[in-house]
């Protein structure tokens, strides 16, 4: 089953991701900030990343840019609670940009869609 790396500085959100995505059958890797996410990215070689934009230190946009320096293929979803980043073209390094919601159904279906797209020729 696919491995998904979640980077989010809020512990409650990380726990929610673990619960929902493990139940959906994915292997879940969690990181609390950008630096930890970079380290776990190289250690676990995930199939997809879900990254919060607003994190202390290295933010999600910088994290995607750093990942893209070595890997342009792995699907990345940027999550934000804020609309202001919609005009930031650096978000284009990601594959999707979604607004956070307590209901993860939309995120779960987006993850499935991107994983399927990535294995299709």
Partner 1 sequence: MSELRKDPVIGRWVIISTERAKRPSDLKVEPARPRGGFCPLCPGNEDKTPPEVFSLPEDRPGGRGWAVRVVPNKFPALSSQGSLDKRAEGMYDIMNGVGAHEVIVETPDHEATLSTLPVADITTILLTFKARLDALKQDNRLHYTSVFKNCGEAAGASLEHPHSQLIALPVIPRRVMEKLDGAQAYFSYKRQCVFCDIIEQELSDGRRLVADNEHFVAFEPFASRFPFETHILPRAHRAVFEETPGDLMNALAGIMSVVFKKINAALGFPPYNFMLHTAPFNKDVSDFYHWHLEIIPRLTKVAGFEWGSGFYINPTPPEQAAQYLRDTETPG
If binding is defined by CB under 8 A, does position 79 make contact with partner 1? no
If binding is defined by CB under 8 A, does position 13 make contact with partner 1? no
How far is 81 from 101, CA to CA, in rounded Å? 8
Size of the site for partner 1 (CB under 8 A): 16
Would you give the end-to-end CA distance of the chain in angstroms? Answer: 19
Do the Cβ atoms of 85 and 97 come closer than 8 Å? yes
If binding is defined by CB under 8 A, does position 86 make contact with partner 1? yes
Residue placing its CB nearer to partner 1 in the complex, 22 or 42: 42
Residues forming beta bridges with residue 96, ordered by sequence position: 77
List of residues contacting partner 1 (CB under 8 A) = 62, 64-66, 68-69, 72, 86-93, 97
């Amino acid at each position: 089953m696919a491995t998904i790396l979640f980077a989010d500085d809020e512990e409650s959100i990380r726990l929610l991701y673990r619960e929902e995505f493990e139940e959906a059958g994915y292997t879940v890797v969690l990181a609390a900030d950008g630096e930890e996410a970079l380290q776990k990215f190289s250690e676990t070689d995930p199939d997809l990343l879900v990254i919060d934009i607003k994190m202390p230190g290295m933010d999600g946009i910088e994290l995607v840019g750093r990942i893209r320096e070595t890997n342009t293929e792995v699907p990345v979803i940027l999550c934000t609670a804020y609309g202001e980043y919609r005009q930031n073209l650096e978000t284009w390094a990601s594959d999707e940009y979604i607004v956070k919601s307590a209901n993860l159904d939309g995120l779960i279906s987006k993850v499935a869609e991107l994983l399927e797209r990535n294995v299709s020729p």
